[in-house]
Amino acid sequence: MEFMTELGIALAKVIFLFSAIMGMAALLTWQERKQSAVMQDRIGANRADIFGFRAIGLFQVAADGIKMFFKQDFVPRDADRVVFTLAPMVALFFALMAFAAVPFGGVYQFGDYTVSLQIFDTNAGLLLVFAMMSLGIYGVVLGGYASSNNYATLGGLRGASQMISYEITMGATVVGILMIYGTLELQQIVSMQGELLFGWIPLWGVLLQPLGCVLFLTAAMAETKRVPFDIPEGESEIVGYFIEYSGMRFGMYFFTDFIETILAGALTATLFFGGWQVPWLYSDGFHFPWGWELALPAAAVMALQVGAFLTKTFLIYSFLLFVRWTLPRFRWDQLIRLGWTIMLPLSLINIVVTGLVLLLI
């Protein structure tokens, strides 16, 4: 009985987060088209309709999905069939796995059970996320290699070198956060961000690590392989690693990008914007710094905190979309130079400065 309940809780968490991510990713395809359209004084996709209802283009998501399922499932003659099939799954799998350690809510008491809203509560949480994100490279490289297409292979290689360059910056940036909070457990990092500075400013990571936040966002953008860092793909002119992919196999790569964008948003929210923390909301309700108090039932607190996490994630990836539709693509040498000669030294300086400040305080 005990075991079944535990299992039920774990499954409920997995299903909730998985459906939230998939739903967000599907909506993100729509949001990307619409947001870019509005930014560029256009209307955006609005033609897909059901019985004449267009629902501001939302049916386009369904139309795209259906189209992808019914497209020809093409495998090049010389391709390595097994790896070719496996590669997009690898990419998608690791992108989704990275969410396992991201806490989407706090720790709550349900009767006898203490539920931590995090799928895999481990003391190596941040390491797990980074491991999964780095393993995602294999999807790109294998996909490029197995297509037996020179352009795809080159795209995969570009992807590998780009992601390795930026992985290092990303890791080095987070060291600052680790030094401040002294833990790899994401749940703990988030709960420590609930403290208040001068009794009223929520002490989010971005206040302690502003440079780290900017660097992390940039590196995360590079990790998601999207404009301005979309050199592995180069949808419009240089062909990328998924040139030979069609149908839902391509769809998986396509989705991976969006899921990684959401992951970038979720991670930035977790590390730098207080994760599920709502300012001045504690487990028994709001305690405003100007003295007001508002008692809330535990369920409402939970809903607010999960909602806060999803909202923060949404706001951050919306910002990433703004950046994506503003900047032109980097040239290959500019990209690598930016990674190794600017971002990496800056992140190292960030570590040194953080260390000095911690020593002095």
Partner 1 sequence: MALKVQNKELTFLEKLYILEVIKGLWITISHFFRNITLHILHLFGLAKNIPAAVTYQYPEESHPLPSRLRTLHRLTKREDGSPRCVACMMCETICPADCIYIIAGEHPDPQIEKYPTRFDIDVGRCIFCGYCVEACPEDAIRMDTGILDFTSYTRADMVHSMGDSALPRRGGGSYG
Q: Which residues bind partner 1 (CB under 8 A)?
A: 35, 37-43, 322-323, 325-327
User: Given the complex with partner 1, which of 152 and 215 has the nearer CB atom?
Assistant: 215
Strand-pair category, 196-197 with 201-202: antiparallel
Least distance to partner 1, CB of residue 49, Å = 13
User: Given the complex with partner 1, which of 37 and 238 has the nearer CB atom?
Assistant: 37
Task: Find out whether 180 and 96 touch, Cβ atoms under 8 Å.
Answer: no
User: Given the complex with partner 1, which of 132 and 215 has the nearer CB atom?
Assistant: 215
Task: Find out whether 139 and 90 touch, Cβ atoms under 8 Å.
Answer: yes
Least distance to partner 1, CB of residue 43, Å = 5
User: Given the complex with partner 1, which of 91 and 221 has the nearer CB atom?
Assistant: 221
Residues belonging to the chain: 361
Distance CA 86, CA 88 (A): 6
User: Given the complex with partner 1, which of 150 and 334 has the nearer CB atom?
Assistant: 334
- Residue whose tokens read 């609005």: 46
User: Given the complex with partner 1, which of 299 and 327 has the nearer CB atom?
Assistant: 327
User: Given the complex with partner 1, which of 146 and 320 has the nearer CB atom?
Assistant: 320
Distance CA 245, CA 193 (A): 43
Q: Can you read off the two tokens belonging to residue 41? A: 């004084």
Q: Can you read off the two tokens belonging to residue 87? A: 């590669």
User: Given the complex with partner 1, which of 30 and 250 has the nearer CB atom?
Assistant: 30
Least distance to partner 1, CB of residue 323, Å = 7
- State the DSSP code for 281: E
Task: Find out whether 243 and 87 touch, Cβ atoms under 8 Å.
Answer: no
Residues 6 or more apart whose CB falls under 8 angstroms from that of 129 comprise 98, 101, 102, 186, 267
Counting Cβ atoms within 10 Å, is residue 118 exposed (0-12), middle (13-18) or buried (19+)?
A: buried
Least distance to partner 1, CB of residue 322, Å = 6
Least distance to partner 1, CB of residue 95, Å = 26
User: Given the complex with partner 1, which of 42 and 67 has the nearer CB atom?
Assistant: 42
Distance CA 157, CA 241 (A): 8
Beta bridge partners of 109: 114
By three-state DSSP, how is residue 67 classified?
helix
Least distance to partner 1, CB of residue 338, Å = 8
Least distance to partner 1, CB of residue 328, Å = 9
Least distance to partner 1, CB of residue 72, Å = 25
Least distance to partner 1, CB of residue 310, Å = 21
Phi, psi of 114 (to 5 degrees): -100, 115
User: Given the complex with partner 1, which of 41 and 78 has the nearer CB atom?
Assistant: 41
Phi, psi of 201 (to 5 degrees): -90, 120
Least distance to partner 1, CB of residue 214, Å = 8
Task: Find out whether 145 and 83 touch, Cβ atoms under 8 Å.
Answer: yes
Phi, psi of 115 (to 5 degrees): -110, 120
Q: What is the 3-state secondary structure (H, E, C) of 108-130?
A: EEECCEEEECCCCCCCCHHHHHH
